Structure 1
Amino acid sequence: MNKAIIEHLFTFWSEIGRLGGFLYSEEGIRHTLAPEKSWPSKVFGLGPSRIDENQLLENIRVGAWPNSVGIYEDVESKNLLVNNGFKLSSTVKAMALKVSNGFDQIVDLGTIAPVKSDEEVQAFAKIASMAFGYPVLTKTLSPLLQASSFQLFLGIHEDDYASCGMVFTDQDGISGIHMIGTLPEFQGLGLGKKMTQYLVKNAKEKGSIYVYLVASQAGEGIYAKMGFKTYGVLESYQLPDGLEHQHSTGS
C-alpha cells in the first residue's frame, strides 16, 4: 500500500507540473521545477537502477533540478544519496482510508466552497503559503481549475477565507487529499478536520474506494483518529547549502 500511496503522490506532482509547464523527465527520473523554486519543486521516481549520482549532483548544484529528492523506504537509494552528501530533510507518513468503512460525519457544507475565481485562487495560495511555510504561487494553482482531476476548496470562518484543501483523482479513480491548511490565526478551531471530512466526502462521491494522504508526524495522530491508517513513509533528502552550490569539479 505504501508504494501505491507514494506513486499517487508522484502522479499528483507530475500532473501539476504538466499543467504548469514545469514537468521534466530524464531516463525515468521525473522532476518538477516550479517558478521561483516554489511548490511543488521535487525530484522523484528514483530507483537504484536509475540513479546516476554524478548527474543528480551536478543538476542540483547548477540549479537545473530542485534540491529536494523524494524516495520510498528504499535502503539502497537512501544509502546512495547519503553517501553522496545528501541529508534527510523531512519524513511524512503515507496514510489511507477505506471510505466504505463509514466516515459519514456531518459537515456544514455552507462553510466550504469550491475555488472558481481568480480571487479565490489567490486566497488559496495565500492560505497554503502561510499554513505550510513555503511559497505556493497563484500561477501554479490557476491551471488546475481547468482539469477535471483536481478540485480546490476554501473554508470560510466568520466571513473570511480561513482554510484550504484539494482533491486529486487519478486515472484509476483513486483520490488523494492534499494541501489541507489553515491560517495561523484560525488554527485550533477544528477547521482542518472539517476540511478533511469534506474532502473525503467529495472523494467518496466520486466513487473512490480509498483516499490517500501524506501527513507530518504531528498530523498522523489527528488523521488516525479519523480512521486513516499508516502504511509507510516518504523521505525527502537535500544537499546542504555548501554542497548544493559547488560544482562537481570542485568537490
Structure 2
Amino acid sequence: MNKQIIDHLFEFWEQIGKHGNFLTKENGFSFAKPTNGSWPNKVFDLTMEKLDIHALCEEIISEELPNSIAVPENEAIKDLLRSKGLRATSKIKAMTLDTTNIFFGNIDASEFIKVGSPTEAELFAQVATESFGYPVDPSTIGALVDKPGFQIFLGNHENAFPSCGMVYLDQNGVSGIHMIGTKAGYRGLGLGKKMTQFLVNQSIENQSKEVYLVASQAGERIYTKMGFTTHGVLESYSLSLH
C-alpha cells in the first residue's frame, strides 16, 4: 500500500509540474522546480538502475536541482544517497482511508467554494503559504484550475476564507487529498477537520473506494481518529551546502 500512495503523490507532483511548465524528466529521476523555490520544489521518482548520483549531487550544488529528494521505503536508494553525504531532513506518513460506509453527513457544502478564477487561485496560494510556512505561487494554483483530476477548494468562515484543500483523482481512479491548511489565526476552530471531511466526501463522489494522503507526525494522530491508517513513510533527503 505504501507504494500505491507514494506513486499517487509522485503523479500529483508530475501533473502540477506539467501544467505549470516546470517539470523536467532526467535519466533516473524527475523534478519539479517552480519559480523562487515555491511549492512543489522536489526531486522524486528515483530509478536506482539509471541514477547518476554524482551528477545529481553536482546539479544540487549548482542549484539546477531542488535540494530536496523524496525517497520512499527503498533502503538501496537511501544507502546510495547517504554515501554521497545526503541526509534525511523530514519524514511524512503515507495514509489511506477505506470509504466503504463512510460519508460525513454533518458537512455543509455551502461553506466551501471551488476555486475557478485567477483571484480565487491567488487567495488559495495566500492561505496555503500562511498555513504551511513555505511559498505557494499563485501561478502554480492558477495553472491547475479546471484541469482534469484537480478540484481546488477554499473554506468559508465568517465571511473570510481561512482554510484550503485540494483533491487529485489519479489515473487509477483513486483520490488523494492534499494541501489541507488553516491560517494561524483560525486554528482550533475545527476548520481543518471540516475541510478534510469535505474533501473525503468529494472523493467519494469521484467514486474513489480509497482516499490517500500524506501527513506529518502531528497530522497522523488527527487523521487516525478519522479512520485513516498508516502504511509506511516518505522521507526527504538534502545535501548540506555550507
TM-score above 0.5, yes or no: yes
Alpha-carbon distance between aligned partners in 1 of 2:176 and 2:63, rounded to the nearest angstrom: 30
1:64 and 2:64 are equivalent in the alignment: yes
- What is the CA deviation profile of residues 103-158 of structure 1, one whole-angstrom value per residue up to 9, with x for unaligned ones? 43410222111111222111110110111110000011101003021010000111
Alpha-carbon distance between aligned partners in 1 of 2:138 and 2:86, rounded to the nearest angstrom: 31
Aligned to 2:205: 205
Shift in Å at residue 92 of structure 1? 0.2
Alignment-mate amino acid for residue 44 of structure 1 = F
Alpha-carbon distance between aligned partners in 2 of 1:211 and 1:166, rounded to the nearest angstrom: 12
CA contact (8 A) 2:28 2:48 kept: no
Aligned to 1:84: 84
CA contact (8 A) 1:92 1:214 kept: yes
Q: Alignment partner of 2:143: what SS? A: helix
Alpha-carbon distance between aligned partners in 2 of 1:45 and 1:174, rounded to the nearest angstrom: 19
Aligned to 1:112: 112
CA contact (8 A) 1:105 1:197 kept: no
Shift in Å at residue 11 of structure 1? 0.2
- What is the CA deviation profile of residues 230-249 of structure 1, one whole-angstrom value per residue up to 9, with x for unaligned ones? 0010000111132xxxxxxx
Q: Alignment partner of 1:6: what SS? A: helix
How many aligned residue pairs are there?
242
User: What are structure 2's unaligned runs of at least 5 residues?
Assistant: none
Alpha-carbon distance between aligned partners in 1 of 2:234 and 2:38, rounded to the nearest angstrom: 20
Aligned to 1:123: 123
Aligned to 1:23: 23
Alignment-mate amino acid for residue 168 of structure 2 = F
Alignment-mate amino acid for residue 35 of structure 1 = T
Alignment-mate amino acid for residue 112 of structure 1 = F
Shift in Å at residue 90 of structure 1? 0.7
User: What are structure 1's unaligned runs of at least 5 residues?
Assistant: 243-251
Q: Alignment partner of 1:127: what SS? A: helix
Alpha-carbon distance between aligned partners in 1 of 2:141 and 2:115, rounded to the nearest angstrom: 10
Which runs of at least 4 in structure 1 moved beyond 3 Å after TM superposition? none
1:11 and 2:11 are equivalent in the alignment: yes
Alpha-carbon distance between aligned partners in 2 of 1:9 and 1:105, rounded to the nearest angstrom: 28
Shift in Å at residue 20 of structure 1? 0.5
Alpha-carbon distance between aligned partners in 2 of 1:105 and 1:133, rounded to the nearest angstrom: 32
TM-score under structure 2 normalisation?
0.97
TM-score under structure 1 normalisation?
0.94
Shift in Å at residue 161 of structure 1? 0.6
Aligned to 1:247: none
Alpha-carbon distance between aligned partners in 2 of 1:201 and 1:146, rounded to the nearest angstrom: 19
Shift in Å at residue 102 of structure 1? 1.8
Aligned to 1:234: 234
Instruction: State the identity as a percent.
Output: 49
Aligned to 2:49: 49
Alignment-mate amino acid for residue 58 of structure 2 = E
Alpha-carbon distance between aligned partners in 1 of 2:50 and 2:94, rounded to the nearest angstrom: 23
